[in-house]
Structure 1
Amino acid sequence: MSAPRNERIFEPNASIVLVGIRGAGKRTLGFLGALHLRRRLVTEDHYFEKVTGLSRGQYLSRNGKALFARQNAEVFKRMLDNNRTNCIIECGMSSLAEEAQDALRAYSKTHPVVYIHREKEQVAQLLDAADVEQLIKADERHRDCSTLEFYNLYDESKQVYDGRQVGPSKLLAAREDFTRFLDLITGQGATRAWLESPFSVGAIPPEFRSYSYALRLRLSYLMDMDLEWEDLEARGDCVELIIDHWPDDLLNVVAKQVALIRRKLGVPIIYHVEENPRNERRRPDEEKNSMDSELLELGLRLGVDYVSVDLQRDDALVNRVFAHKGRSKIIGNYWYLGFAALPWYDDKQIENYGKARSLGCDVVRVVRFCTGDSEVEILENFKARLRQSFPDPRPPLVAYDFSVLGVRTPLQSRILGPVKHPDMENDRDQLATICSYRDANELLFRQFLLDPLQFYVLGSNVSYSLSPAMHSAAYGFSGMPHTFQAVTCSTLDNLNQICLSDSFGGACLTAPFKVAIMAHLKVKSHHATAIGAVNVLLPLRGQTSIILDHANARNKAGTAREFFGDNTDWSSILTCLRRAISPRNYVQPSKTTSLVVGAGGMARAAIYALIQLGCRNIFIYNRTVHRAAEVAGHFNDWAAAQGITGNASHANCNGNSLMPAAKADICHVLPSLSDPWPHGYQLPTIVISCVPATDVDGNPPADFEMPIEWLKSPTGGVVVELAYEPLVTPLVRQVQRFSEYSLSPPWAVVDGLEVVGEMAIEAFELMTGRMAPKRLMKDVGRQTWEKQQQRGHRGSIFCPVRFIRDR
C-alpha cells in the first residue's frame, strides 16, 4: 500500500492568500508576512481602485449594486491571476461571495489560501452590533474555500512607560505567531535553522534527537486547567495535543488551543484525535470516520508539525490524511490497549511497520498494554528485527509498553517518550502518569547514558557574571547534574587547557576571546562567520564527520578534537529590538538609521542584528576611529558579497553633498561626537551601546552620552544598553531624563539584564540541546543582580531603571 499524492505542497514562490471577515486582522498579518517573506503585499481595496480608478464606495454610488457586483467579481479574479508569485494577497469581504469562493477553491489547488479568524468577542468589538452574528456565521464558509487556517489570538500585552499602561500592544506576539506559521507552511523554518546553526533547538526535529519527550496535554484538561501556561514551559521537547473532548464550536475551540500552545510554549505540536467514546457504539463507521476526518483535517489546516493517525482505521480516512498532509509530518500509530495486545515477537508487528513505511509515515508509533508479560529484551529483539528487515532510510520508531500504573520505566523509547507535568494528577492520562520531563532526564544520567559536564563563562573579567546562577537554575529545573562556573582567563593557552578536559561541555566567551578565537576554529555557524566573532564554544564529540552526530553527542563526556563556534549575541540583541521597536519605528531599509557605540565583539553582533532586522544605514562611533573603520569595512565587504547594499543616494557621513556615493555602503564611521548628524540621513531611531562595563584591563571605561540633538527623532526610538554593571549607565540616565522632560516622543530602554538573560537562554539551548526555562532564568538573573548590588558588589549603587516595555 503506497501513499497518495500530497496535494498541499506548493511552489516555494506561490503567492499566499489571506481570507476572513473584517476585524480578523488580515491586513496587519499580511503586512507582517510580506516583511518576513520579503514579498509584495496586495490588498483587494487598493487593487480595485488601481484597476477601476475608483474606490469601492465611489464605484457603487456611480454604477449601482448590480454592476458593482459584476465588476467586483471580475477584479477579484483578476487580482488572483495577475499576482500568482511572490505576493501576500489580502482579500476583503468579496471573499464571501459565491463566485469569489469558487475562484478561491480553484486557486487553492496551486496556492496556499489561509483562513484568518480570531475570538468572536474581539471581532464583535470591531463590527456593527447589528450584523455581527450573521457575519461571524458567514465567515465559517471560508473553511470551504481555503486550505489552511490561522487563529489570530488577541495580544494582551500592553505598552508600559514608567509603570503606566500607555497604549495598545504593538502586536509582537501576533507577529511572532504568524511568521512562525508561515515558516511551517512554506517549509523554510527548520531548513534555515539547520543551515544557520545545526546546534539550535529548532534545527533538529524531536524524532532525530538522541532523546526527546512529548508532553501530553488533553483538550479536556486545557479547557479547565489547574496550572498556568507558564508552568508548562520547557516541560517537553514537543507537546502532544490529544483531542478527547467535544464541546460546542469544537473546530474553533481546537484552533484556539493550538494557537495558545504555539504562543505560550513555542514547541512542535503533535496533534492526536481520540474517538469519541460516548458515540462510538451508536454511530456507524462511516459517520465516525466523517467526524474524525474533519478533526484530522483541521490539524492539517492549522499546519501543526505532526498529525497522529491510527493506521488501523478505515483506509479512506488514512489516505485522506496523507493526501492533505502538506508540510505536516505523519505519525502512524498502532495502539493495542486491551488485555490481548499483540506481542512484540508476533510477525504482524513487522508487517504493520512495513505498511506504515510504504504509506510514507515520518514516524511509526507502536504502543501496547501489558500486564508484566513483556520483558525489555523482547522489545529490543523486535527493534533488531526491524533493522534487519528494512534498510535505511526507514521511519524512526517509537515503541513502548504501559500498564495501569502508566508507561514503563526506565522509558523504552529513546524518542518522543510520553511525559507529564509533575503537578498533574495521575489519573489524567494512564500513558504518562509516572514520568515528568525532569524525571526522564535524571534517569538518563543515573543510567550513565548521559554524563555530568562542566560549563563555563570565560574571559578576562567575569567575576560579576550572572551566567552561573542562570544556567545552574536551568540545570536543576531540567534534571541535569551539570555545573557552570565563571573562570577568569585572558590567554588562548588558558582557554585551551580548560576546553581539552573530557568533561568540558561548553563555554560562553567574553573579551578578549570573541574575535581572537576565530582563526583557531574550523567549524563555525553561518552567523559567527558573518560577524567575525564567537561567544559560544562547544566540543565536537560525534563518532562521524556528520554534524548531526556531533549535535546528538551533547551531554556526553569524552575527547574533543574539534570545536564549534557560534554567536548568540546578535540574536539576543535582535530579540530585544523586536520587542521594543514601536510600529511607528518599524525598520524601513531606505530610511531607518541606527547608531552602534563601540567596535568590539559585541558591536559586531549589534551591527549584524541590525542588518538582519533590515536596517541599511548603520553608523559606528568608537573612541578609536581606526577600529570602527575596521569593523565597518568588514561588514561592508560582507554585505556586498551577499548583495546587500546601502542607499547610494545618501551622502557619506563626512560630507554634506547628496551626490550618489561610489559604493553603497551600509556602515559608516562617525569620527567625532561634536559633528552634526550626517546630512541626508534621518536621525537615529535605534541606538545600541556596546561599551563594556569595564575595559579588558579592569579599568572603568570612558562614560558615553549622546549629543542631545541626536535624540530628537520625531518618532522617538529604542536604546539598547548592553552593560549592566552599573545598570543605569550615563547613556540610560540621559535617555531617561530626555524622555521625562522633552516634548519629543519617549525612547524605549532595553537594559543590559534583559539582553544578558536572552544570551543565557540561547547559550543553554545550544549547549544542552534542551528547551530553556526562560522565565526562570530571567527571574534568577535579576534576583542575582539585585543581591550583588545589596552586597555592594564592585561598589555599584542599586538604582533601578524605569523600564519602557513593549512600545
Structure 2
Amino acid sequence: MAAFHAGAKRSYNQMHDSGLDRSSRSVTTSREPSPLRRRSVDPKETPGLRSGYNTPNVDWTAIPRQASFSDDASLVLIGVRGVGKSSLGVLAAAAYGRRLIDSERAFLEATSITTQAYRKLHGATEYQKKHYQVFQQTLQAHDKGCVIVCSFSDLENHGSVLLRDFAQRHPVVHIIREAQGIQLYLQVWSLERTRQLLRASGPLLRSCTNYEFFNTSEALVEKSHEGVQDLAKASNGLYLTLKRVERDFLKFLNNIIGTPPRMPSQHSPYPLSQVPLSQRLFTMSTVVEVDDIVDGKVNVEALMIGVDAVEIKVPLSEPPTNGMYSEDQLLRVSQALAIVRRPSIVPAVLSVILSIDSTGHEGAQKSLLTLLTHCYRLAPEFCTVDSSLSDAQLALMVASKGRTQLIALTQMQERLPDGWSDEECLAAYERADRLGFDVVKITMPATSVSDNFAVHSFRQRVERLNGKARLIAYNTGKGGRPSMCFNKLLTPVRYAYDPPKEPGDSEDVLLTAKDVFTSLFASFIYEPMRFFIYGANVSFSLSPAMHNAAYAACGMSHTFGTHSSPNLDDFKRLSQDHHFGGAAVVQPYKTGVMPLLDGLSSHARAIGSVNTIIPVRRLQPDGSIPDELELLSQCNKSGPVKALYGDNTDWIGIRACLRHGSSPANTVRPQTTALICGAGGQARSTIYSMLSLGVRNIFICNRTSKNAQILADHYNKLIESHAISELDPADSASTRVRVIESFERAWPRNFRQPSMIVSSIPTQTADGKMVDFKIPDDWLKSPTGGVVLELAYKPLITPIVQQMRERSHQGWIFMDGFDVLPEQAFVQFELFTGRRAPRRLMRMEVIKRYREEQSQ
C-alpha cells in the first residue's frame, strides 16, 4: 500500500524536544481565505490574486539580487499554504541554533487574537493596516539570529515591499511544492485551483525573495521488496520522510549560508568531501534534460555511477513572449534539481545554453537571463553561463552568484582557422578569468586527429598563465572523443542507459562514464589494481561482491578478492605487490596489523584500530606520508610500495546510519544521551562516531564492566587532551563517556533516556546458537523514540529485531549490519579508487548476494 506524503504539518508539540522558542508555535488555520480572485466567467482565464495583493507590479528578474549576508542575518521562509514552511522552519532553527519566529504567532501576541478574528472584528481596511504594522515590527525586531516563517497573507497591503527590502540584507526563501502535494495536504481546493494559485502567486513571491526551495513530495511504499532488512524491520518510512526533507533542506541552506554548526554535513567525513572537485583529475558529469528527470525517464541514482557531478540541461528553445517563462516551466526546473539532489552525494550543474540560431536574438537573450536568474535562486553547486552575453551582463552574473561556482561556456560552432592555436581561444579564457568565473569551458569541432593533440597543448598553455579559473577544453563531434577522455575537469557524459545516437559535429555528449574509464585504463593512465579483504576467515564476506560490481559498472579493471589466514605473514607479502591497491582488514587483525603500518589517519589513531589499508608509492621529500589529496592522486597506479597507511572507515559507516536513523525530533543537542551495548572493537568505532555527531553523554554497558571502563578511560583521556579531531574543543569539558555497571541497573537519574543506541554484542555463539540479548525495556523510554543500530546482520531475526518491531509506533528506527556494511564500503571505495562509490548498486549487490547465500 502506497501513501503519498505531502509534508504533513506536525504541531510544534510533536517536535517539543526541538529546543526552540515555544512562544513561536504555529497558529495557521485551514479557514484562511484563498488568495485568488473569484473564478472568471471565462474558464480559460487563469484567475489572479485578490485585490489586497495588488502591490506594485515588479519584474522579479530585474530586481538586483543579493547573495551575500552577515553570518547572523535572519533567514525568512515564505510560500503559499501547504508547502511545508513550518516544518522546514523547525528543521532550520534546530540545525543552526536559531530562534524560530512565526509571523502569525507574532500577530496573535501583538493583538491577542488571530488574523482571521481581527479582520472579522475590525474590518478589512483596519486589519490590513495592523497587519502591515505588526509584520514590519516583526522583521525589525528579529533582524538577526532567527528563522522567520511568514504566511502568504503577510504580502498583502504592500507587505511584499517590506520583504523585498528585507531580502537586500537577508536570505529570503520562496518555498514551493508541486500542486498535487499541496492539494493532497490541504484537501480544500481542486488540483486545478491549486495550480492556478501557484501560477498567480509565483511572480509576486519571486519579486520579494532571493532563493527558492522545491520541497519534494514523495510516494512512500510501506513495504519495499528491495532489501533483506524489510523482512526484519518494521516500516521506518513515515518517521524518516521528514529526515529526508531535512537532509535536502540543509544541503540547500549550506549552499547559501554555510554548514549548520549543530549538524555538519552528512558526507563531510568522506575523503572526497575534503577535496574540491576542481582539484581532482578526469572528473565527469552526466548530462540529463529537465523533462527526462521530472517525467521519470531516467533512474536518478543510476545517473551518478562513475561520475562526479550531474549536469541538468535547462531547455531554451523558442523564446517565449517578452522572454518570460511560465510558472509551470520554472517549476519543472526547480523540481528537476530537487529530484536529483535527494539521493545525490555529487554536486549539481545547471546549464542554460543558447542554440546557434538564437545567438544574438534579443528575445533569446532575455529568456536566457530569465532562466539563469531562476537557476541562481535554486542555489546549485555549479551553473553554466553562456559567454555570448556582454561583459556587463556577465559581471552582474558573477556579482550575484553567492556560493554557486560559475562556468563560462564558449562554444566554437566551427573550427577556427588556426584551431586551438588561434588567439581567440586564449582570449576567451582570459576574458572569463578576468570577470571572475570559477571555471572556463571551451569547445570546438574536431576536423582531424591532430586537433586532439592541439587541445592538449592549449591546456598546457593555459596552465602556464596561472589564472584562477580552472579549464575545461575538448573537441566535439565524433572525431573529438579522444580529447574528451583526457579532459581533466567535468567531461560531459551521457546517461549509460540512453541508446547511442549518430553525432553532429558540435555534439559533445557522446561517451558514457564507463567509456571514459575504459579509455583511461586502455591508455595506461590508470592501471588494474588488486584489492582484498584479509581476516582469519573471510571466505563468506560480502565485500568482494560489492566492490567488484562497482568496478565493473564504472569500467575499472580492478579486482577484489578474499584472503583468509591464521596470521599476518601473508599480508606482509601481499601488500608489497606492485599492483596492490589496498585492503580491507577484519577481526582479529584490526589492531594486530597496526605495527606493520608506517602511518595512520587521526581517526584510526584515536580509535585504536584500522580496517582499511592503502599503499603509498610516493613519499614527501622528507620521507613522511603525504596528505590526503596526494594519497588520493596515487590511486589506480602501480609501482613499488614505499609505505602503508591505515585508516578506519567503520566509524563513518556507523555515523552515517545514526544520522540516517535519527529523526529531526532527535537532533543532537547538549542533553542528548547515547548508549553502547558491548565493549569490543566495534564499540571503539561507535564511540568515535557518536563524538563526531556532537553527543556529549555516552554510556557503555558490558557484561564485563571492567572492559567497559577501560574503553571509557581511553576516550575520556583523549577528550581531556583534545586529541579527537572530530570533537569541538569547546564541547570537551561537558563531554564524558560513562559506564553503567549492569544491564539490570536503572537508567541514571540525572540523564535523559538514550535516543541513540548501538548494540555491538555478538548475535551468535561460536557454535551458531542465537544470543538471547535485548535492550532493557526501562532504557527505551525516550519520549521521542530514537535509533537502534545492531551491528551484526546474522541471523536476520534477532531478539532486538523483535523488540524494535513492537516499538516502531513509538518512533524507534531500527538499523543493522546491512546498513553499516555498504556505508563503510563507500568510504573504502573512495580511498581505493579516488572516485565516488556507486551507492545504490553496491547496496543492491549486498542484498542480492545475501539472498543467493540464503537460498543455497
Give the alignment's TM-score, normalised by structure 1. 0.84
Aligned pair partner of 2:553 in 474, 477, 480: 477
Structure 1 residue 530, shift from structure 2 partner: 5.3
Structure 1 residue 443, shift from structure 2 partner: 1.2
Cross-structure match for 2:138: 79
Q: Give the letter for the 2:213 counterpart.
A: F
Structure 1 residue 484, shift from structure 2 partner: 1.5
Query: Does 2:405 correspond to 1:325?
Result: no
Structure 1 residue 532, shift from structure 2 partner: 4.7
Contact 2:214 2:338 in 1 (8 A): yes
Structure 1 residue 731, shift from structure 2 partner: 3.1
Q: Give the letter for the 1:252 counterpart.
A: L
Aligned pair partner of 2:706 in 618, 626, 646: 626
Contact 1:96 1:139 in 2 (8 A): no
Aligned pair partner of 2:366 in 254, 271, 290: 290
Change (3 A) 1:19 1:194: closer
Cross-structure match for 1:106: 165
Contact 2:176 2:213 in 1 (8 A): yes
Structure 1 residue 272, shift from structure 2 partner: 1.4
Cross-structure match for 2:676: 596
Aligned pair partner of 1:552 in 633, 646, 653: 633
Of 422-431 and 549-558, more deviation after overlay is shown by: 422-431
Q: Give the letter for the 1:688 counterpart.
A: V
Contact 1:307 1:331 in 2 (8 A): yes
**Secondary structure of the corresponding residue to residue 157 of structure 1:** strand
Give the alignment's TM-score, normalised by structure 2. 0.80
Cross-structure match for 1:178: 249
How far, CA to CA, are the matches of 2:697 and 2:289 in structure 1? 50
Query: Does 2:656 correspond to 1:575?
Result: yes
How far, CA to CA, are the matches of 2:438 and 2:613 in structure 1? 33
Of 778-787 and 239-248, more deviation after overlay is shown by: 239-248
Query: Does 2:419 correspond to 1:362?
Result: no
Cross-structure match for 2:216: 153
Q: Give the letter for the 1:608 counterpart.
A: Y
- The 5-angstrom pairing of residues 739-778 of structure 1 reads 739=807, 745=810, 747-778=812-843
Structure 1 residue 317, shift from structure 2 partner: 2.8
How far, CA to CA, are the matches of 2:337 and 2:636 in structure 1? 31
**Secondary structure of the corresponding residue to residue 330 of structure 2:** helix
Q: Give the letter for the 1:632 counterpart.
A: A
Spell out, residue by residue over 1:671-723, the C-alpha distance to the aligned partner (whole angstroms, 9 max, x if none). 1122233334454443311124679x999896533334444556654431111
Change (3 A) 1:531 1:301: farther
Q: Give the letter for the 2:674 counterpart.
A: S
Change (3 A) 1:221 1:684: closer
Query: Does 2:328 correspond to 1:258?
Result: no
Change (3 A) 1:459 1:84: farther
Q: Give the letter for the 2:84 counterpart.
A: G
Structure 1 residue 151, shift from structure 2 partner: 0.9
Contact 2:316 2:368 in 1 (8 A): no
Contact 2:669 2:694 in 1 (8 A): yes
Query: Does 2:180 correspond to 1:141?
Result: no
Aligned pair partner of 1:668 in 732, 738, 753: 738
Structure 1 residue 752, shift from structure 2 partner: 1.7
Cross-structure match for 1:125: 184
**Secondary structure of the corresponding residue to residue 442 of structure 1:** helix
- The 5-angstrom pairing of residues 300-379 of structure 1 reads 300-338=376-414, 343-372=419-448, 374-379=450-455
**Secondary structure of the corresponding residue to residue 129 of structure 1:** coil
Cross-structure match for 2:587: 511
- The 5-angstrom pairing of residues 384-533 of structure 1 reads 384-388=460-464, 390=465, 392-403=466-477, 407-408=481-482, 411-427=485-501, 430=504, 431-432=507-508, 434-489=510-565, 495-515=571-591, 525=601, 527-528=603-604, 531-533=607-609
How far, CA to CA, are the matches of 1:111 and 1:746 in structure 2? 36
Structure 1 residue 133, shift from structure 2 partner: 5.4
Q: Give the letter for the 1:707 counterpart.
A: P
Structure 1 residue 496, shift from structure 2 partner: 4.6
Q: Give the letter for the 2:209 counterpart.
A: S
**Secondary structure of the corresponding residue to residue 297 of structure 1:** helix
Of 778-787 and 337-346, more deviation after overlay is shown by: 337-346
Cross-structure match for 1:687: 757
Structure 1 residue 340, shift from structure 2 partner: 5.2
**Secondary structure of the corresponding residue to residue 201 of structure 1:** helix
Of 235-244 and 537-546, more deviation after overlay is shown by: 537-546
Of 184-193 and 337-346, more deviation after overlay is shown by: 184-193
How far, CA to CA, are the matches of 2:594 and 2:146 in structure 1? 40
Change (3 A) 1:92 1:195: closer
Q: Give the letter for the 2:794 counterpart.
A: E
Cross-structure match for 1:234: 305
Cross-structure match for 2:283: 212
Q: Give the letter for the 2:254 counterpart.
A: D
How far, CA to CA, are the matches of 1:289 and 1:89 in structure 2? 36
Q: Give the letter for the 1:206 counterpart.
A: L
How far, CA to CA, are the matches of 1:98 and 1:427 in structure 2? 55
Cross-structure match for 2:686: 606
Cross-structure match for 1:799: none
**Secondary structure of the corresponding residue to residue 421 of structure 2:** coil
Change (3 A) 1:129 1:210: same
How far, CA to CA, are the matches of 2:354 and 2:835 in structure 1? 33
Structure 1 residue 118, shift from structure 2 partner: 0.9
Query: Does 2:792 correspond to 1:727?
Result: no
Of 438-447 and 606-615, more deviation after overlay is shown by: 606-615
Structure 1 residue 480, shift from structure 2 partner: 1.0
How far, CA to CA, are the matches of 2:65 and 2:619 in structure 1? 36
Identity %: 31
**Secondary structure of the corresponding residue to residue 761 of structure 2:** coil
Change (3 A) 1:194 1:222: closer
Contact 1:402 1:408 in 2 (8 A): no
Structure 1: runs of 5 or more not aligned: 647-662, 792-807
**Secondary structure of the corresponding residue to residue 344 of structure 1:** helix
Contact 1:220 1:245 in 2 (8 A): no
Structure 1 residue 96, shift from structure 2 partner: 2.1
Structure 1 residue 477, shift from structure 2 partner: 0.8
Cross-structure match for 1:274: 353
Structure 1 residue 192, shift from structure 2 partner: 7.2
**Secondary structure of the corresponding residue to residue 654 of structure 2:** helix
Provide the aligned C-alpha RMSD in A.
3.6
Spell out, residue by residue over 1:351-386, the C-alpha distance to the aligned partner (whole angstroms, 9 max, x if none). 222112111121111100122274333223323333
Change (3 A) 1:194 1:721: closer
How far, CA to CA, are the matches of 1:195 and 1:243 in structure 2? 27
Contact 1:235 1:436 in 2 (8 A): no
Cross-structure match for 1:653: none
How far, CA to CA, are the matches of 2:167 and 2:76 in structure 1? 9
Q: Give the letter for the 1:574 counterpart.
A: R
